[in-house]
Amino acid sequence: MTEGKSEMARTEGNETIIEPDASIATYHSDSRDAYNVKVPRGDRVIQTLEELEQVRRECRKMVTRRAGLSAGAAIIPIPGLDIGTDVSLLMTLLPAINEKFGLTPRQIDALHPNRKKYTMIAITGIGSRVIGSTITRKIVSLLLKRVGFKITAKTALRYVPIVGQAAAAGLSFSAMKVLGNAHIEDCYRVIKEVLAKL
């Protein structure tokens, strides 16, 4: 809620509907408050650049933690373990990032029609197959092909004792960071573009 503005919330089923409270004399309408926004409980709709920056920072921390897990799996010389771990991590990481930015399919469907339209235009403009989509193994496989050289190299390197395992862990960490941070930046650009139009 912004200073000088008041919102009323009511619950319908499992959704909370937030509406501007026009009965308060200090309420000053701007284009953002002109929309009644249906928000499923627990979700938030990013309204300011400050909120957007905060979400970006939170997501970068999450990517770093998951990249550390990926690096740990790369050290263990069991065939296929590192790739399986990377796929598993990305299948949970990418939807978590989408959710933080309010860009899951469910969250987008719950938006006001104008905000939903602006969001879909921004997603299309960026060309992301991950934002606003259900994340599947096929999508994750396509993303992993982007960093295919690093994955091939880390698979070969981890069988070299100590030095190779350390190099494989480093490559795994950096590949996960590159994919995660690229997705964060795509989500950031979408929301920033939407906020500029509201």
Q: Is the pLDDT of residue 84 over 70?
A: yes
R_g (Cα) of the chain, nearest Å: 20
The residue extents of the domains of the chain are 1-42, 48-197
Beta carbons within 8 Å of 51's beta carbon, 6+ residues apart: 44
Task: Extract the tokens encoding 30.
Answer: 């701007």
- Residue 12 is predicted with a pLDDT of 54
- Residue 80 is predicted with a pLDDT of 60
**What is the pLDDT averaged over residues 102-107?**
94
Q: In this prediction, what percent of the chain has a pLDDT beyond 90?
A: 37
- Residue 4 is predicted with a pLDDT of 41
- Residue 82 is predicted with a pLDDT of 62
Q: How far is CA 190 from CA 33, 68, 118, 127, in A?
A: 20, 27, 9, 10
Q: What is the pTM of this model?
A: 0.70
Strand, helix or coil at 115? helix
Count Cβ atoms within 10 A of the Cβ of residue 4 and give its class: 0-12 exposed, 13-18 middle, 19 or more buried: exposed
**What is the pLDDT averaged over residues 51-60?**
96
Query: Which of 72, 45, 22, 62 has the alpha carbon at shortest distance from 173?
Result: 72
Distance (Å, rounded) from C-alpha 134 to C-alpha 98? 10
